[in-house]
Amino acid sequence: MQAPNTSITITTNITYSTPESTDQLSLCLHSDELCPGNPLSASNGRKCWMIYAGLKEMGPLLQTENAWITLCILRSNMVATVEASMSQIMKRLLHLIFLNPLCDVQDLGICLQPPDGHAGEANRRVRLSLGYIIQDGQAQKTTWSVKGDESEDDIDPSSQFTKHSELVLHSSEEIAGELGPNGCQAAGITFSLESLLACPALRPLLKPTEQWMHDYVHGLLSNGLLSYATFYLLQVMDGWKNFAEYCKFWQLPNQFSAIRICIVLDDKRVVKHKKSGKLNPLRPNC
């Protein structure tokens, strides 16, 4: 994990690299549940919820780990004892950032001193707004108190849409108007007075239809496009046997020595891959 001052230094430098007329920065929050240690021998007792913060204005630099500031680390078994789960945690965090009586980051802003390389320049005052909350389906489900990816199972196959124009889109204001106990049930939202969406003080800040952003890494790696692309490559080349033998010669670093990639390509698993039409990893997050 990076040292916090590294992330703050990068953030300050990025701020001074933007035009002086740009004093409004969009805060991006990313949360996910992870299990520290060997992912092949995961223990639920080690699971933690992490919340990170970055700035939308960083652009491609957000690919760098040090561009994200670690805001919160909580044990999952502790989060499970909170009434509204991560929704309540996120609500409290947004309170501390945007409704903090010690610092009005939305209107008054934050005054930054110039970093190294910008000596002699005037101080910059920047203001923050909430840009995106970036999460996978499970994190979205617990934060926004909705069904998440599971809601797709309730769609009638005969009425599935094929064009964006066929969607019936709702605004953030319409969603806010459905947050009573009866409205939540009809909209597929889990009602709780402690949830993020039920907080009146945060209503002006929250725009669910604009701030909801999926973590697209999960669309690539975790049972995503890479699983399908690798499957079709091995299928077309008929390279299951050859690649399985080739993997036996791989020498991984010591910390990964317990992982045997060739197991993914043994005969029984190849049958499973061909049946599902994709490469099935040993664990969903590998």
Does 98 lie in the same domain as 31?
yes
SS3 track for 106-156: CCCCEEECCCCCCCCCCCEEEEEEEEEEEECHHHHHHHHCECHHHHHHHCC
**Bridge partner residues of 113 (DSSP):** none
Does 176 lie in the same domain as 272?
no
Look at residue 58 and tell me if it is in a domain: yes
Does 230 lie in the same domain as 201?
no
Does 233 lie in the same domain as 207?
no
- Alpha-carbon distance of 36 to 144, in angstroms, equals 25
Q: Quick check: 150 pLDDT over 90?
A: no
Angular region, 18: left φ>0, alpha ψ -120 to 50, beta rest:
beta
CB 32, CB 86: distance < 8 Å: no
In tens, the pLDDT along 22-43 reads: 688 999 999 999 888 766 666 7
In tens, the pLDDT along 210-230 reads: 999 988 777 777 677 888 898
User: Which range of residues forms the domain containing residue 126?
Assistant: 4-149+170-215
Look at residue 9 and tell me if it is in a domain: yes
Does 71 lie in the same domain as 181?
yes
Structure tokens at 168: 């019936």
Look at residue 266 and tell me if it is in a domain: yes
Q: At what angle do helices 137-144 and 85-98 cross, to 10 degrees?
A: 70
Does 182 lie in the same domain as 124?
yes
Does 16 lie in the same domain as 76?
yes
Look at residue 163 and tell me if it is in a domain: no
In tens, the pLDDT along 197-206 reads: 989 999 999 9
Look at residue 283 and tell me if it is in a domain: no
- Alpha-carbon distance of 34 to 42, in angstroms, equals 10
| Helix intervals (H) in 76-121 | 76-79, 85-98
Look at residue 12 and tell me if it is in a domain: yes
User: What is the model's pTM?
Assistant: 0.73
Q: How many domains does the chain have?
A: 2
Does 193 lie in the same domain as 249?
no
Does 96 lie in the same domain as 60?
yes
In the chain the first and final C-alpha atoms are separated, in Å, by 20
Does 194 lie in the same domain as 125?
yes
- Over pLDDT 70: what percentage of the chain? 79
**Secondary structure of residue 131 in the 3-state scheme:** strand
Q: Quick check: 9 pLDDT over 80?
A: no
Look at residue 194 and tell me if it is in a domain: yes
Higher pLDDT, 285 or 77: 77
- Over pLDDT 90: what percentage of the chain? 35
Look at residue 164 and tell me if it is in a domain: no
CB 235, CB 273: distance < 8 Å: no
Which residues are CB-contacts of 245 (< 8 A; sequence separation ≥ 6)? 262
Does 250 lie in the same domain as 140?
no
Which residues are CB-contacts of 88 (< 8 A; sequence separation ≥ 6)? 82, 192, 194, 195, 196
Does 62 lie in the same domain as 195?
yes
